[in-house]
Amino acid sequence: MTSPVKKRLIKFLLSLIVLAISILIIVYNLRDNIVYFYSPSELQDLNTSDVRILRLGGLVSNGSIQSEPNGIHRFKINDGNEEISVKFEGILPNLFAEDKGVVVEGKYIKDELFVALKVLAKHDENYMPPEVIDSLKQTGNWQGE
């Protein structure tokens, strides 16, 4: 085997190994950090032993917001069919209100309680997260255009 060919072969194999390892690491990390989105109906059907972080989106149920003085808030999120109770400790966003769309991120414990670590909100009164629109459309409770 001539030396330049050998050199090239070594280079090629080396880059192949590096490539394979890095892609493996990347994909593995990606799989671990994916946050799935669920509507209340979908969450009901979910295996409750799943302890991953996930997102839940829908409408804040009318009259469901209860704020305790220690900064703990309880409210319910519905999609017209199902309702999930949510507990959140922290500051609710400015545009958080009853009958408005909301997306929360956190863990679904059991007995229909969702412990939210984050409440996501956009800076527009009429904004509705697209996922929420989709799930409302699926349950036939969408009233927009």
Partner 1 sequence: MNNIISLSGNLLLIICLATSILQSLNLFTTNSYTNNNVKLFSTIQFTCIALAFLILIFLFTQSNFGFELVTFHSHSEKPFLYKISGAWGNHEGSLLLWILILTLFNFLYSLSAERDKLYKNKVTAIQSILIIGFVLFSIALSNPFALNESPQSEGLGLNPILQDPLLAIHPPILYFGYVGFSLVFSLAVAGLLTSNINNVWAETVKSWTFLAWTFLTAGIALGSYWAYYELGWGGYWFWDPVENASLMPWLAATALIHCVVVLQKKNTMQSWTVLLAIITFSLSLMGTFLVRSGVLNSVHTFASDPGRGLYILSFLFLVLITSFTIYALKSDGIDKENSYSLVSRDAGIMVNNWVLITILFIVFLGTIYPLFTDLVLNTSLTVGPSYYVMTITPVIIILLLFMIISPLVNWTAGKLSNVIVKMRYVLISSLTLVLILSLYFYLFSLTELAIIFLCIILILTSVSSGIIYSRNNIIITPSLGRTLSHSGFGLLLLAIVSNAVYSEEKIFDAKVGDTLKLSDNTFKFEKINQFEKQNYNSIQAIFYLMDNNKQVEKFSPEIRFYNDPPTITSETSIVHRLFEDIYIVMNVTQATNSISVRIHVKPFMTFLWIGVILIILGGVLSVFIKNKKINA
Q: Which residues bind partner 1 (CB under 8 A)?
A: 22, 25-26, 29-30, 32-37, 53, 55, 65, 67, 69-71, 73, 90-95, 123-126, 130-131, 133-134
**Of all helices (H) and strands (E), which one includes residue 12?**
helix 3-32
| H or E segment and range at residue 132 | helix 130-139
**Could you tell me the smallest distance in angstroms from the CB atom of residue 19 to partner 1?**
9
Question: Residue 37 or 112: which CB sits closer to partner 1?
Answer: 37
CA 64 to chain centre: 22
Nearest residue (CB) to partner 1, 105 versus 112: 105
Question: Which is closer to partner 1, CB of 50 or CB of 134?
Answer: 134
Please tell me whether residue 60 adopts helix, strand or coil conformation: strand
Q: How far apart are CA 144 and CA 128, in angstroms?
A: 10
Beta carbon of residue 113, minimum distance to partner 1 (angstroms, whole number): 20
Q: What is the DSSP letter of 30?
A: H
